Amino acid sequence: MAAQALQAFSRKLAEAMERQGVSANALAQKADVNRQVIANVLAGNVWPDVITLANLEFALQERLWPDLLAWPLDEEGRPVEPVSEEKPHRVGSRAPRPRKQD
């Protein structure tokens, strides 16, 4: 399960950077994180510490750490990352309100 969490985090980080058009160098400066740390996290070579995780989420204004408790379980009771096409909510943003029907 730990490896799945790291893979999901790395994937979410890469997707957020691509979506926002942010390079590793630019993100490193904005998040006050060493660029090599970002490269190593993206490659899945290292676990980010909590401060790095918080700095990256704040800099990108997106949740990056996966919500493992919300993942569905496989037949053996292990969490499985859900596949979603839903746009991520920015940190501190509200979910869109439902439209009133006339």
Please give the pLDDT value at position 84: 60
3-state helix, strand, coil in the chain (%, to 5): 50, 5, 50
Q: At a CB cut-off of 8 Å and minimum separation 6, what does 62 contact? A: 12, 16, 88, 90, 91
Q: Residue ranges per domain, the chain?
A: 1-102
pTM above 0.95, yes or no: no
The confidence score (pLDDT) of residue 90 equals 44
CATH architecture type of domain 1-102: Orthogonal Bundle (1.10)
Q: Say whether pLDDT at 79 is over 90.
A: no
